[in-house]
Structure 1
Amino acid sequence: VYASHPASFMHSTLLRSSPTKHIYVSEHYAPLQLRSLRDMEAKQHHIKSLKSYPETGGRSLAAAAGEDGGGGGGGGYRVGSAEMEMELKIQKAIDFKVEGNRCYKEKKFREAIGKYHRALLQLKGVHVVDGTTGSEVNLLNQAAAKLTEEQRRAVESTEIECYDSLTACLLQSELVNYERVKEYCLKVLSHQRDHFKAMYRAGIAFYHLGDYECALRYLRDAKNREPTDTNVLRYIQLTEMKMSKSGQRERESGKETQG
């Protein structure tokens, strides 16, 4: 009988050769070396169980390791998943931005524009607006996770850089869409009011759209930041000339009506 079940035979032999009290002592008062070995094996098993759930995120590792009794761990897993998804979106946005920068340096402006738009698309699920505007933080359709301060800064700086780089790409086009340039510059300035390039490019956009008063306002703001920038000074001069001619035409037309 025991030939076909050697393990059962050994177990049975041990039971018969050891008194009951010795079995109890060996289970609960094992020698130090045996207890240390068991402790090491238990710790190793715990580490493996944590490593087997890399996708759950830091705070939900305990739930993944089996501490989700009573149904409470399910919520922890969902929060961990939301946090991980949010982190992936931010990282993808940064990766697309870097690819866009590479395309821009290689003068592949159309490809760069596509990369910057894809970066901004990733950030749509992680919408962060400066707290001074009174806006709320909306994460992954009201998921239970919240941005850390570091993540918030990463999202905001990525958004600013993408819009700023988009305006630079658009201004390289043969037919510049100044309406879009204006829109992107204002988005940058809504985050960072003293952004020099955004002020200067907004001035250029308003100038070419024929709104000389707004153009002059943004160009003067840019001059306050960089008083000796020759491009800013040139556009201020051009804008003042346009305003002067426009004013002269208005005065002349007014005289004609009066006459």
Structure 2
Amino acid sequence: MEAGRGDESLDVKGAAAAAEPSFSGHQQTSAKPVWTLLEEAAQMKTEGNALYREKNVRSAIGRYHRALLVLRGLDSDVMASVKGFGPEIPALAPEQEAFLRNTQVDCYNNLAACLLQRQSVDYSRVLDYSLRVLQWRPGDVKAMYRAGVATLEMGDAQTAKQYLTQACREQPNDANVRKHLQRAEEKLNQELQKERAMYRGMFSTSLKSSSGEGINQTNRAGEGV
């Protein structure tokens, strides 16, 4: 199911809210035990996965954003920027930190997948979500593939080839990865041919100009004899 213009505004608001700290969200989040909140976020992610499999992309996006909003209030990287405002949350235990980060990464990865299913794809946001995943989980094949597709559609075939080549090394039999890698290579080849043709034209013009000047100089010398 493709999302229309109505849920597009919901998606934008959800993404902005999940990315920016909120004092009221901080206070609300800290009222519950950490593990309870982590499990709630994980449940929202699971519900989003089920909705995505049902092709209900709009609702899946909503679930992923809600999960990210919950996790934002527990994220030490986010809350460090608002330290001193509202109640302090205790530092997460290592297993809680890992649980939080894995859930975040999965949500961003799945959001990128959802956006690619839409009729009008915002490739800059697909790239943003994919890069967040790669920041926390380097080598994630799905994120590398989606980053490659996004950069290719945004016109950067060279960077796209780098992402897609890495993804192809990890999944050499994936038809989609190979298809987009071939597209990136074809585009780079086309750009190279255009560049060569441009330089040939410039070189040809330069030769004609030099030849014309030589003839004029010869004629002037002959007239002087």
Residues 1:226 and 1:137: Cα distance change in structure 2 (over 3 Å): farther
- Distance in 2 separating the partners of 1:212 and 1:230: 19
The aligned residue for residue 92 of structure 1 is 40
The aligned residue for residue 253 of structure 1 is 198
Quick one: which of 202, 213, 219 aligns to 2:164?
A: 219
Quick one: which of 82, 107, 116 aligns to 1:171?
A: 116
The DSSP-based 3-state class of the residue aligned with 1:173 is coil
- Distance in 2 separating the partners of 1:179 and 1:93: 25
- The question of whether the paired residues in 1 share the 8 Å contact of 2:74 and 2:89 is answered with no
* TM-score, scaled to structure 2: 0.70
**How far does residue 84 in structure 1 lie from its aligned partner after superposition?**
3.8
The DSSP-based 3-state class of the residue aligned with 1:194 is coil
- Distance in 2 separating the partners of 1:92 and 1:144: 17
**How far does residue 144 in structure 1 lie from its aligned partner after superposition?**
5.3
* TM-score, scaled to structure 1: 0.61
The aligned residue for residue 115 of structure 1 is 63
- The question of whether the paired residues in 1 share the 8 Å contact of 2:76 and 2:91 is answered with no
- Distance in 2 separating the partners of 1:85 and 1:125: 12
The aligned residue for residue 132 of structure 2 is 187
**How far does residue 189 in structure 1 lie from its aligned partner after superposition?**
0.4
Q: How many residues align?
A: 174
Alpha-carbon displacement from aligned partner over 1:75-112 (angstroms, at most 9, x marks no partner): xxxxxx95844334323212221221121121100111
The aligned residue for residue 105 of structure 1 is 53
- Distance in 1 separating the partners of 2:133 and 2:120: 22
Which segments of 5 or more consecutive residues in structure 2 lack a partner in the other structure? 1-28, 206-225
Residues 1:225 and 1:245: Cα distance change in structure 2 (over 3 Å): same
**How far does residue 142 in structure 1 lie from its aligned partner after superposition?**
6.9
The aligned residue for residue 155 of structure 1 is 100
- The question of whether the paired residues in 1 share the 8 Å contact of 2:30 and 2:87 is answered with no
Q: Which of the pair has more CA radius of gyration?
A: 1
Residues 1:124 and 1:137: Cα distance change in structure 2 (over 3 Å): same
Q: Which has the higher contact order (CA 8 A, sep 6+)?
A: 2
Alpha-carbon displacement from aligned partner over 1:33-53 (angstroms, at most 9, x marks no partner): xxxxxxxxxxxxxxxxxxxxx
Is 1:228 the equivalent of 2:173? yes
- The question of whether the paired residues in 1 share the 8 Å contact of 2:109 and 2:133 is answered with yes
Q: 1:49-88 maps to which residues of 2 (within 5 A)?
A: 82=30, 84-88=32-36
- The question of whether the paired residues in 2 share the 8 Å contact of 1:128 and 1:155 is answered with no
Given residue 142 of structure 2, which amino acid in structure 1 is its aligned partner? K
